[in-house]
Structure 1
Amino acid sequence: MPFIHITMATGRTPEQKRALLAAVADAVHETTGTPRESVRAWITEVDPSAVIAGGVILSDRRK
Protein backbone atom coordinates (compact mmCIF):
# COMPACT_ATOMS: atom_id res chain seq x y z
CA MET A 1 0.00 0.00 0.00
CA PRO A 2 1.83 3.15 -1.18
CA PHE A 3 1.65 6.35 0.85
CA ILE A 4 2.18 9.60 -1.05
CA HIS A 5 2.52 12.86 0.85
CA ILE A 6 2.30 16.06 -1.19
CA THR A 7 3.37 19.29 0.46
CA MET A 8 2.55 22.50 -1.39
CA ALA A 9 1.77 26.13 -0.83
CA THR A 10 -1.84 27.10 -0.27
CA GLY A 11 -3.80 28.66 -3.08
CA ARG A 12 -5.22 25.78 -5.14
CA THR A 13 -8.93 25.24 -5.50
CA PRO A 14 -10.62 22.13 -4.10
CA GLU A 15 -11.12 20.99 -7.70
CA GLN A 16 -7.40 21.30 -8.45
CA LYS A 17 -6.51 19.33 -5.33
CA ARG A 18 -9.01 16.59 -6.21
CA ALA A 19 -7.59 16.38 -9.73
CA LEU A 20 -4.03 16.19 -8.38
CA LEU A 21 -4.88 13.41 -5.94
CA ALA A 22 -6.74 11.45 -8.62
CA ALA A 23 -3.81 11.82 -11.04
CA VAL A 24 -1.36 10.63 -8.39
CA ALA A 25 -3.50 7.59 -7.61
CA ASP A 26 -3.80 6.82 -11.32
CA ALA A 27 -0.03 7.17 -11.85
CA VAL A 28 0.76 4.83 -8.96
CA HIS A 29 -1.77 2.32 -10.25
CA GLU A 30 -0.46 2.47 -13.81
CA THR A 31 3.23 2.26 -12.90
CA THR A 32 3.12 -0.27 -10.07
CA GLY A 33 -0.12 -2.17 -10.61
CA THR A 34 -1.31 -1.22 -7.13
CA PRO A 35 -5.11 -1.15 -7.00
CA ARG A 36 -6.33 2.45 -6.83
CA GLU A 37 -8.24 1.71 -3.63
CA SER A 38 -4.93 0.78 -1.97
CA VAL A 39 -3.20 4.06 -2.81
CA ARG A 40 -3.08 6.57 0.04
CA ALA A 41 -2.29 10.17 -0.86
CA TRP A 42 -2.81 13.42 0.99
CA ILE A 43 -1.92 17.07 0.69
CA THR A 44 -0.36 19.22 3.39
CA GLU A 45 -0.64 22.91 2.62
CA VAL A 46 1.81 25.50 3.87
CA ASP A 47 1.57 29.27 3.88
CA PRO A 48 3.44 30.73 0.88
CA SER A 49 5.27 33.10 3.25
CA ALA A 50 6.90 30.03 4.85
CA VAL A 51 8.43 28.63 1.64
CA ILE A 52 11.43 29.74 -0.38
CA ALA A 53 12.21 28.57 -3.91
CA GLY A 54 15.12 29.83 -5.95
CA GLY A 55 15.94 32.35 -3.24
CA VAL A 56 12.51 34.00 -3.38
CA ILE A 57 9.76 33.66 -0.78
CA LEU A 58 6.72 32.30 -2.61
CA SER A 59 4.35 34.95 -1.29
CA ASP A 60 6.68 37.61 -2.71
CA ARG A 61 6.81 35.85 -6.07
CA ARG A 62 2.99 35.76 -6.28
CA LYS A 63 2.65 39.55 -5.91
Structure 2
Amino acid sequence: MPVLHVYLFEGRTVEQKANLMRNLTQAVTESLGSPAQNVRIMIQDMPKYNYAVGGVSVQAREDAAREKQ
Protein backbone atom coordinates (compact mmCIF):
# COMPACT_ATOMS: atom_id res chain seq x y z
CA MET A 1 0.00 0.00 0.00
CA PRO A 2 1.80 3.16 -1.17
CA VAL A 3 1.50 6.08 1.24
CA LEU A 4 2.39 9.58 0.06
CA HIS A 5 2.82 12.47 2.45
CA VAL A 6 2.75 15.86 0.70
CA TYR A 7 3.73 19.12 2.38
CA LEU A 8 2.33 22.29 0.81
CA PHE A 9 2.41 25.90 1.82
CA GLU A 10 -1.04 27.08 2.84
CA GLY A 11 -3.21 28.72 0.22
CA ARG A 12 -4.09 25.99 -2.26
CA THR A 13 -7.78 25.51 -2.95
CA VAL A 14 -9.71 22.31 -2.26
CA GLU A 15 -9.99 21.85 -6.02
CA GLN A 16 -6.23 22.17 -6.53
CA LYS A 17 -5.56 19.60 -3.83
CA ALA A 18 -8.18 17.22 -5.25
CA ASN A 19 -6.54 17.51 -8.67
CA LEU A 20 -3.13 16.83 -7.13
CA MET A 21 -4.46 13.74 -5.34
CA ARG A 22 -5.99 12.39 -8.57
CA ASN A 23 -2.77 12.95 -10.51
CA LEU A 24 -0.56 11.47 -7.79
CA THR A 25 -2.79 8.41 -7.56
CA GLN A 26 -2.61 7.94 -11.32
CA ALA A 27 1.19 8.30 -11.25
CA VAL A 28 1.50 5.69 -8.51
CA THR A 29 -0.82 3.22 -10.23
CA GLU A 30 1.05 3.61 -13.53
CA SER A 31 4.53 3.52 -11.97
CA LEU A 32 4.05 0.81 -9.36
CA GLY A 33 1.03 -1.09 -10.61
CA SER A 34 -0.77 -0.56 -7.31
CA PRO A 35 -4.57 -0.45 -7.45
CA ALA A 36 -5.88 3.10 -6.96
CA GLN A 37 -7.90 2.01 -3.92
CA ASN A 38 -4.63 1.06 -2.18
CA VAL A 39 -2.99 4.47 -2.64
CA ARG A 40 -3.06 6.71 0.44
CA ILE A 41 -2.26 10.42 0.25
CA MET A 42 -1.92 12.81 3.15
CA ILE A 43 -1.63 16.53 2.47
CA GLN A 44 -0.30 18.75 5.20
CA ASP A 45 -0.80 22.48 4.79
CA MET A 46 2.08 24.36 6.33
CA PRO A 47 2.37 28.05 7.17
CA LYS A 48 5.33 29.70 5.44
CA TYR A 49 6.71 30.83 8.78
CA ASN A 50 7.15 27.15 9.77
CA TYR A 51 9.68 26.42 6.99
CA ALA A 52 13.11 27.97 6.79
CA VAL A 53 15.94 28.09 4.28
CA GLY A 54 19.31 29.10 5.63
CA GLY A 55 17.80 29.94 9.00
CA VAL A 56 15.23 32.39 7.60
CA SER A 57 11.56 31.47 7.24
CA VAL A 58 10.02 31.51 3.79
CA GLN A 59 7.53 34.08 5.07
CA ALA A 60 10.34 36.39 6.22
CA ARG A 61 12.10 35.99 2.87
CA GLU A 62 8.91 36.89 0.98
CA ASP A 63 8.27 39.85 3.28
CA ALA A 64 11.81 41.13 2.72
CA ALA A 65 11.47 40.73 -1.06
CA ARG A 66 8.21 42.72 -1.03
CA GLU A 67 9.86 45.51 0.98
CA LYS A 68 12.62 45.80 -1.65
CA GLN A 69 10.09 46.38 -4.44
Q: Tell me the residue number matched to 1:40.
A: 40
SS at match of 1:4: strand
The whole-number CA distance in structure 2 between the counterparts of 1:11 and 1:57 is 17
Amino acid across the alignment from 2:31: T
TM-score, normalised relative to structure 2: 0.77
RMSD: 1.8
Structure 1 residues without counterparts, runs of 5 or longer = none
Moved more, 12-21 or 45-54: 45-54
The whole-number CA distance in structure 1 between the counterparts of 2:39 and 2:45 is 20
Structure 2 residues without counterparts, runs of 5 or longer = none
What is the CA-CA distance between 1:42 and the residue it aligns to?
A: 1.2
Amino acid across the alignment from 1:2: P
The whole-number CA distance in structure 2 between the counterparts of 1:7 and 1:53 is 15
When the two structures are aligned, how many residues end up with a matched partner?
63
TM-score, normalised relative to structure 1: 0.83
Q: Percent identity?
A: 33
Q: Tell me the residue number matched to 2:4.
A: 4
SS at match of 1:34: coil
Bigger share in helix: 2
